[in-house]
Structure 1
């Protein structure tokens, strides 16, 4: 409206010729919850607004969303819910075009906004509408137990706006009737959904939960496969053996499918017999009275993700006796299921030690020994070209600590300037340790050398033992 009509006078006739309109978007502006949005408006005709007041407000003129006046932002009276979230964009203000950026959009930001311009003699405004939408999380389907002769399934999701639609569907896509449905609004203004259904049909069917945002015309869905009605859950473990090093730690994990809380269940880890146990969780805490003595003080059950039916058993100070199969069992009431896991223990022994142990068959008997292996290793002699040499004897023995010692002998009858190596290999780790021995020539006059050089008085050989340090990838 123009002040000329109120006060009149020839001095204002030119000013009244600078009337303008404020133009905003001709359709609602769509914003995604949590993201930023820009609300634009401009003057028509295109005149400078640098010296004008530009005010953004909701229902009340003095309840400010943002105020630009006297060439600067004036937000002393800004509504508290917009503090730190607005930015006045004036790059094109010389042409009468401005915009308001609102950061981290909330559901409460939805609704009407007024973009108001005022010059010294005229003011006008435009009405804009902001719509907020939130696409929530993927639905999480869980099994909540038995009810009315079937299995009660619950579908949950959060982060939706406006209130979403929830629908269960059978394998052919037909809608199913839900047992109950709630859509509470969280403190952040977004909707959470929880819908339940009871499945009593025949086995081997899938069930899907669809949650749809009608404003965005988008949906999210999750599907669960019911393998057998009456079977509350299945237990799943790793699909391959778990490797562990001697003296180290091993983590054995298993989980329920579909996801559900195991806080009130019994979780039992055992070997070949149901009892005694490797570890037992029952009545909400660890129970050690039935634990096998050899696992005492060495196990720990991780319960961080127990509400999602996922557990991990940590075994410390791994021993050879820990090698083998483990059973992970969950029990809820009269229903129990289990999964079988395999732990493979491996230990890389010491570098082979080579010694000369006398004469045999007109040659020198050389013996290679290496302890500390698990499981049973392979031992071989090889020449310079890597070709296998026949051994005079071989003995792989198990020591009291459960580890293996390899002992392999060879008789050297060739002339000098030859070299052979002793290689001890772990097939499970595909790693080896190797030492070499060289026949270098005439025996020196000094009868005893250092630990790597050994000589027998009167023999025409000088033997140098060279460990080839490892471990490394297997070459033997």
Structure 2
């Protein structure tokens, strides 16, 4: 054996075992979760559980529940304490850790008052020192909405239209029409709309001949729960409803209203009939939510579209005569479109449709010169505050249309349009044009004239040049005098200033 100075075999062995003892040994535990998705109904509570294997305490470990990013957890429980600083806002006050079973490595997160937005994948991450394991869980949120309600439009000739509506379903439900034998009927249209709260509203339409079927059912099915709700309508019975022989009359011509003005929508029954026991509904494309709902003599606010809340009022409640007028304050471009007015009683309705055209007459156009070179002049005509898109024309002094060089329409934040159009004038001694902007729905227009003589323009530039030269000569003279006499306060003018003014000798 050869011994080296300062080194011994026994010391090397001791150092080797010391390194082994200080090196971190790999952990042999893992995290598992449920093998099947967890079902939770809207409004109820959900329990998400993950388990350490082999079983061991998780009391002093770091447990983090998250969805997409660990840095913004659903909930974090570290070393026996809750950590809420980085928690997702939508889970604050809604989640907690169930500590039963944590000594055996069972970690359970409770989410209160389940919402549609809670649907999806979750991750359970458990960490001890620098060792971390995680598993994923699938939470399926589901909910049964309202039972379907079938509305029947009074017969038109030999055809009957049925509309089935329901709300509050999650996820997207399936809708069926069936006859009395259970045979499926083909829907004419079907609309599934998911609103801000995540819940679905369904509206399905069926058209039948009044002598082809007697009883029709509408069924709405939740595919996750495999549960359904249904309603049936007896068509012959509905023929006895008083609305079957009435008509709803609305505006016969499109209603024109300017941005910022009030809108008035009037509907009435013909022949005149007391409508106090009926529901009157002003809608756009769908029955729910509505522009305005009047039932039992009152406004039904919970069924109103958010953008119309605080903007609507009945200004003429003659319901005992079957006539009502709805006023919408402060018209905006979003109010533009088709409306329907429905009178309904006991599931039978009559309706009238009409168009509302919101118009905006913009600012007077302004014409400016963008550039002048090589004998060319580019004229730019601009205006803002128009709706819908206006018509823009350039015309010469004889009223003939001149093709525009460019035209750009830009929609602003309030839906109003800004227009900018340009005209390129070349090799012309006289420029005399008009920019005209008109609203397609109004017999009104705004215009601006532009007239410029090229010789006069050249003469003006010569005058400007002469004035500039005279001003430069005057400034030079003042500098020269100041160098000769000194500054007003007996401070000498800097020599470099005078050198520049007089020139060096």
TM-score by length of 2: 0.46
Q: Which has the higher helix share?
A: 2
TM-score by length of 1: 0.48
